Amino acid sequence: MKLSKSYYLVIITFILAVYYIFVGVYLNKLGYSNYESLFYIEKGKIISHGLGNKLRVMGLTSPLLPFYGSYLFSFFNPILAPVLASAVGTALLFYIMASSMVKRNKDNFYLFLLVILFTLHPGLIYTACSGKSIYMVLIFFFLFFLNMLRFYNSNTTYHISIASIFFVMLVFSDYKCIWLALFFIPLVLSIAIHSLNLSEKESVFRLHLSFNNPSLRRKLVNKTFSIYSIIFILPIASIAIYKVLNLTHADDLNYFLESPYATWNIIADKFEYSLTSVASRYAIPEISVLVSLKAIVFCPMIILAIYLFKQNTYQILTLLTPFGLIEFLKVKYDGVNLVYEYYLLFLILALLCIIFRVRFIRNQRALKLGLAIVVAVQLYIGFIFLSKSYIPEENNFANVLLHRTSNKIGEQNREMSDYINTLPESDKILVDDAIAYPVACYVKDISKLTMPYQASYLSAIEAPEKYNGYVLIANESNPMLGYTQLTDFYLDGIRRKNPKLNIYKIYVTDYWTLYRMID
């Protein structure tokens, strides 16, 4: 009995998932970690084993979908949950893309290229094995643009409605992607202009006629608004409802964006900005105008993708929207460099275009040769981008993968958490998990920690000797020192308030000191 291609795709996907899990677990054992995955581990442990009101943690941790994607795997292994989620998620991304390719093209060469990319491309290995949420962003980004291209082919609102749902999921995977909506305005206007029943073929003349005729102008406005509403009214409404939820439970509309207790990237971005200000390697920072050029260098395949749609205005405008997004993000968040994730969007978009259009090219031999060369070049460039990245976490991933050397910060966090695990279960430790979540995530019994989500935290921080036997303090050398209240200055204030209080150093690392307080 001959097996179908779908069956083989399932087997390849399973092998890829096992491969990713093996590499991810191996890197984890070598000591690789990143702020995002550690944040998800700690919040997952709070939900499963924490004490106190956990509603805010459950509903307002951001980004929401990647957090729960990681949390689902915490039932297998809490520490490896983010790695398992990213490995399985990236394998799922391959299956979605490969299924779309097999439906549209029977040539196995293109499927082979896809397998090569997902097996060897450093960016996709980073996506699968780092434990970050990049995999989820890429999945929903692919599905959103897939349905937009389907809409252009069929001109039915079903696909545009499905695209809207995937855009909502994309925003709840990475809130910065909401700005993508800005760059669809000219695209939607172009679609509305071409939908009008006019004799003129050129867009400029159609636009001129539409604006100078009251009836046509009204139709143009109505169509533009209706199409834009179908795509973006659901995402905007979802964000509005979620902000009301934040206001109700946290008294702040933007709690999920601005609180270090709700999202990992607030302090991580500030930390990177401080490094950018002092490190000599950042003497020549990314320049906004050159970001798009950098994206093309990273993914030269995108040029071929645009060429494949050279006679399709809608599709070309659609392919240009991610360029607008990264330029906007570079201007809006000029203090930090764009992370690897945003360059991977162009790789996924280029592959989507190849899936859609490659079967219409007559000279398949030249196309295959060109694609093979481009893929080989992209594998090399992807490695260079990762190993020479200005983002510490990306550079550290390459170092651990190639040289099996982990960073010092991760070692310090594990050392402190290992000591905390030796303390009796009855002992309580005051911890500010705004910066101490990399320590808290490795604590086996998280119920022994008193943290800001608990109602008793404010009372404990005023009189720690009555509520907690221990306090975890950030040392002067801790790179996150400026983002927490629990520092040496806090201890000085406690000593002045209660001179009879005995405070002893129990355990010291370069970045952390654990104190015991006895009244």
Does one domain contain both 134 and 166? yes
Structure tokens at 332: 């809006």
> In this structure, are residues 405 and 446 in contact, taking their beta carbons and an 8 Å threshold?
no
Residues 367 and 412 in one domain: no
My answer on whether 485 and 381 are in the same domain is no
Asked if 391 and 514 sit in the same domain, the reply is no
Please check whether residues 392 and 426 belong to one and the same domain: no
Number of folded domains that form the chain: 2
- Asked if 165 and 45 sit in the same domain, the reply is yes
Do 397 and 419 belong to one domain? no
**Residues 441-495: tens digit of each pLDDT:** 999 889 889 898 888 888 888 887 777 688 999 888 887 887 888 888 888 888 8
- pLDDT in the model for residue 282: 44
pLDDT at 7: 84
Residue 371 has pLDDT above 80, yes or no: yes
Tens digit of each residue's pLDDT (9 = 90 or more) over 96-134: 999 999 888 888 888 999 999 999 999 999 999 999 999
Q: Is the pTM of this model over 0.85?
A: yes
CA distance 202 to 211: 15
Which pLDDT band holds residue 281 (cuts at 50, 70, 90)? very low
Residue (of 90, 5, 2, 82) closest to 43 by Cα position: 82
Confidence of residue 280 (pLDDT cuts 50, 70, 90): very low
Same domain, 366 and 431: no
pLDDT digits (tens, 9 = 90+) for 201-229: 555 555 656 566 676 667 767 777 777 77
The whole-number average pLDDT for the span 435-440 is: 90
User: How is 264-332 classified by DSSP, letter by letter?
Assistant: SHHHHHHHHHHHHHH-GGGSS---HHHHHHHHHHH-THHHHHHHHTTT-HHHHHHHHHHHHHHHHHHHH
Record the tokens describing residue 461, joined without a space: 């921080």
What is the residue-averaged pLDDT of the chain? 84
Cα 140 from Cα 185, distance rounded (Å): 20
Domain end, chosen from 357, 373, 403, is at 403
Instruction: Please tell me which of 51-55, 82-86, 338-342, 487-491 the model is most confident about, judged by mean pLDDT.
Output: 82-86
Are the beta carbons of 298 and 381 closer than 8 angstroms? yes
Are residues 414 and 445 part of one domain?
Answer: yes
Give the separation between CA 439 and CA 436, rounded to whole angstroms: 5
Domain that holds residue 11: 5-403
Measured from the Cβ of residue 228, the count of other Cβ atoms closer than 10 Å reads 18
* Higher per-residue confidence, 339 vs 2: 339
For residue 279, the model assigns a pLDDT of 47
pLDDT tens digits, 19-33: 999 999 999 888 888
d(CA 488, CA 486): 7
C-alpha–C-alpha distance, residues 48 and 500, integer Å = 38
pLDDT confidence of residue 1:
40
> Token pair for residue 396?
């550290």
Domain boundary at 383, 403, 423, which?
403
Whether the predicted pLDDT of 198 surpasses 60: no
Is 50 exceeded by the pLDDT of residue 159?
Answer: yes
Q: Which helix (H) or strand (E) holds 100?
A: helix 81-104
Q: How far apart are CA 52 and CA 447, in angstroms?
A: 9
User: Residues, the chain, total?
Assistant: 519
Contact 60, 246 (CB under 8 A): yes
123 with 10, same domain: the answer is: yes
399 shares a domain with 368: yes
Q: Do residues 340 and 394 touch, judged by C-beta distance below 8 A?
A: yes
Contact 286, 85 (CB under 8 A): no
Confidence band of 278 (pLDDT split at 50, 70, 90): very low
Last residue in a domain, options 352, 381, 403: 403
Does 312 lie in the same domain as 447?
Answer: no
Q: Which of 299-303, 344-348, 391-395, 414-418 has the lowest mean pLDDT?
A: 391-395
Query: How far is residue 52's CA from residue 32's CA, in Å, rounded to a whole number?
Result: 31
